A and B are shown apart, each in its own frame.
Chain A
Amino acid sequence: MTRSLVSLLLFLLLSLSGTAPAFALSPTAPGDSISDYYELETIPLPPGLSAETGGVAFMPDGRLIACFHRGEVMTYNPQTKAWKLFAEGLHDPLGLLPVSNSEVLVMQRPELTRLRDTNADGQADHYETVTDGFGMSGNYHEFAFGPLKDKEGNLFISLNLASNGAGIREEVRGQLNELGRPGRMYSTVPYRGWVMKLTPDGKLHPYAMGFRSPNSLGFDKQGNLFVPDNQGDWLGTSKLYHVQEGKFYGHPSSLVWKPGFNIDPLTLPVSELAQMRTKAAVLFPQNIMANSPTQPLCDITEGKFGPFAGQMLIGEMNFPKIIRLMLEEVDGEIQGACVPFYQNAGLRKGNNRMVFAPDGSLWVGQTDHGWAGDKGIQRITWKGQTPMEILTMNLTPSGFDLTFTQPVDAATASDPKTYDFRRYYYEYHREYGSKQFDVQPIEVMKAQVSPDGKRVSLTLKEMKPGYIYEMTVNGVQATNKNPLINNFVCYTLNKLKK
């Protein structure tokens, strides 16, 4: 409560002094605002709730179910606006998945738990351990995320590394492995830094490794699994990985739980680790796009939420921002771009969890959890008009094709000077974060508008893999004079288009 009061005070101060909150650093064009197209509503919360939101989901009957830092699981009826307690006493629950109107799976620190109301009094009375087949050193940073269910009924969860900001407990759960202990973030008990797969037979399988702080999981429209990770040691900037079985994604500590791996992973040369790792599908430049990306969520609303059906959104902790992803497959691998979707305009920070309601509105659960952020739940509803946005950004052999949600005004869109590109990369190394290396402006040679005005083909002077291509669009508008709302995009170019 105190933290949110402080935020309110800061907000008042900023409004009074006439300075716009400068949280979001990406430039936006004047004119239309995202709030002209989407309505933002703050959900009333029950008095006394510290709304550090760890999970939000909808039950089959249309009630929202949410879990909070102090262990409460509560339901909210959007019609009656009534909150009701469903379960309590959980240990920092950070994700949930309803099974029915009386049953929900919750991921808490020590285990994945099935909560069931067996006597129909509206509250869970059976707390069944679904899996606790992973270690706990007692280090605070060992958060646990998920579950995410695939079509075959498998459940995916993800497990944080421990932090050398604190030690481990005298008694731990699981086998202690000192080989995983060195380093800033470490994996000294089983499967820290892994994504795990629980098959319907109840067995928990190590699935993929190399994660640092994989704060929740999501599928794209095709069912590909995506997991974010946070800037820090071995992560020059924050990322989103396309996660596939058996692959290693870059943070070395978790390697100690790979069968047959019997050395301190930090003794391997960086070049060897770099060869082992699978690169991220999307990089979020630090302080520019995101500092702490959270849950990836596919827009499954088939148009109820606006023009972005089938694309993924991802939340962000440090800035009042939700990001949209424009992914594609290039040479057999997924890569693509990120662009702000909703920023400022009343949205709070700490956008940790998201879910689409049956009516197609987006519900956003917020937390600060000891870091930058806010508390509470907000709801974003599409008003029905199409904002002028870049709908897709696709790599071509010579540059990028941009597709817009509305036909562009050819006069501005065909001028190559309208598009500012620069490119850079972040170093893969043991240090915390990375500066941008080899920052170069890249000249746009040509901008060709398609006959229907919806696509602009850009020819760039140089296309080089291994770089982020950062684009700022200045002055493109629709034929109906609507300005482009989000004009700042970062494309992660891992592979060239042949």
Chain B
Amino acid sequence: MIYLNPLLSFFLLLSIGLSPGALSFLAESPIEAPSLAPPAESQTKDTTIYIKAVGGLQYDMVRFKVAPGTNVTLVLENTDDMAHNLLITQPKARLEVVQAALTLGAKGPEMNYVPASPKVLWSIKVLNPGQKQTLTFTAPAQEGVYPYVCTYPGHGFIMYGAMHVTRKPLPPLADDPNIPPDRANDQAEAAAHQGHDSPAASPHPYELKLPAMYRTFMPDCSPAAIAVGLPGGLSYCWDAGTCRLRYAWKGGFVDNAAHWKGNGNALSNVVGEIYYRDQAGFPLRLGDPANVPTPKFKGYRLLDRYPQFEYSIDGVEIKELIKPLEGGTGLVREFQVEQVKEPLYFVVNRNDGVSYQASQGKWTEEILRIPAGKARNFTITMTETKGEATLTEMKGEAKR
């Protein structure tokens, strides 16, 4: 709700026919055409501003400040995969210039979407992805907010920023009506995401209930990742690309705000502390512990909202259901295996951050061997262990 304020003021200003930039000038005389010569008394330094056109129709920098009369070198680099230009306009003239660029029609490309208008002060032509261009100019003597904008068709309504020509301090970003409201909102969202204690509003049209899962981009996983949040703040990352549990954390679930925004390049963020990280690779072996299978992912069923993963190794169907450990930090992995004729092996690494307890079979070092007859159903209980981990059988002794 923090972001409503700037939006609201933006709206109010629009509805009385003033541009957002007008805020700064309410107490000043009407803006005149800026003189390009620096005022004699100014003590300005040359400055270089670096701006990137980035994905999601944005400039990475939404505003910058220069003193009147400064010699400005502006470097625009297009790191997006679409073409962009950059025009600096007279105060309040952004939308007018955007409209003028749209009406260029078929002439737009050859004119770089730069309309012939006195409202356009300076411009950088359309840059294809990967291109870079430098513009030098002397900042106007007249203080004011000079918009910069991409007038490539469709972009100008959301892809812009503000050059503040002033000696005064700038308002906080969230209160600056000259930047895209989306960007001021990002700041508010970022602030809201910093505290995990306050319940975050659901990002969906329904309450987010745990267990819950997202297929998303997760760190330290193949791109076919699944994030699962369990009751009690125990969460894990399961890899549908390699059919295995990758890591587990405690204290929260995931923050998808960055991933969902824009084109989806950013990864989801783990909220909480990772206590388990698999280092042994795919754990199951059939017949021979040296025989590492290539598992095939088949999907999952939701059982009371808990995903039960389905995959196969060497043609044998496996089901894996992961529940939170009661009364501690850890996970209980319930396996169901189609009838097998050979022993099944489960391979772990002692340095994964957990102790392992198996309901069936016997450990030899880091390899659990389950006889064919007992492999139909078994559980592996993983409990967070700082220091030396143990590998145990349900009714047996700890083995080191």
Contacts and interface: CB of A to CB of B under 8 A. Distances in A.
**Of A19, A45, A46, A110, most B-chain CB atoms within 10 Å:** A110
Contact of B299 (A9, A16, A127): A127
A91 B226 CA distance: 9
Contact of B103 (A3, A7, A25, A89): A25
Interface stretch (A132-140, A214-222, A266-274): A132-140
Residue of B10, B81, B203, B240 with most partner-chain A CB within 10 A:
B81
A232 B81 contact: yes
A445 interface: no
Interface in B97-135: 99, 102-103, 105-106, 108-110, 128-130
B56 A371 contact: yes
Interface string A415-440: 00000000000000001110110000
A166 B224 contact: no
Contacts of B47: none
B88 interface: no
Contact of A2 (B3, B83, B110): B3
Given A2-B3, A9-B10, A12-B15, A436 B106 contact: yes
Interface string B246-262: 00000000001000111
Given A25-B105, A89-B215, A125 B206 contact: no
Nearest to B105: A25
Interface in A1-31: 2-3, 5-7, 9-10, 12-13, 16-17, 19, 22-23, 25
Interface in B293-327: 297-303, 310
A423 to B, nearest CB: 12
Interface in B325-347: none
Interface stretch (A56-64, A283-291, A307-315, A329-337): A283-291
Interface in B201-220: 201-206, 212-217
B106 A13 contact: no
A6 B224 contact: no
A377 to B, nearest CB: 13
Interface string A368-402: 01111000000000000000000000000000000
A3 B57 CA distance: 12
23 contacts: A9-B11, A16-B14, A22-B102, A46-B206, A50-B260, A70-B203, A71-B215, A74-B205, A91-B215, A91-B216, A92-B264, A110-B240, A125-B302, A128-B310, A138-B222, A163-B81, A171-B223, A173-B224, A349-B154, A371-B82, A372-B155, A433-B83, A433-B109
Lowest 4 CB-CB distances: which A-B pairs, in order? A370-B262, A372-B154, A91-B215, A318-B154
Interface of A: 2-3, 5-7, 9-10, 12-13, 16-17, 19, 22-23, 25, 45-50, 69-72, 74, 83, 85, 88-92, 108-111, 113-114, 124-129, 132, 136-138, 140-141, 163-166, 169, 171-173, 184-185, 232, 285-288, 291, 317-319, 349, 369-372, 431-433, 435-436
Given A25-B102, A92-B264, A370-B262, 9 more contacts: A12-B11, A25-B153, A126-B301, A127-B299, A129-B297, A136-B223, A136-B241, A285-B106, A432-B129
Interface of B: 3, 7, 10-11, 14-15, 17, 55-57, 79-83, 95, 99, 102-103, 105-106, 108-110, 128-130, 153-155, 157-158, 180-182, 185, 201-206, 212-217, 221-224, 240-241, 256, 260-265, 297-303, 310
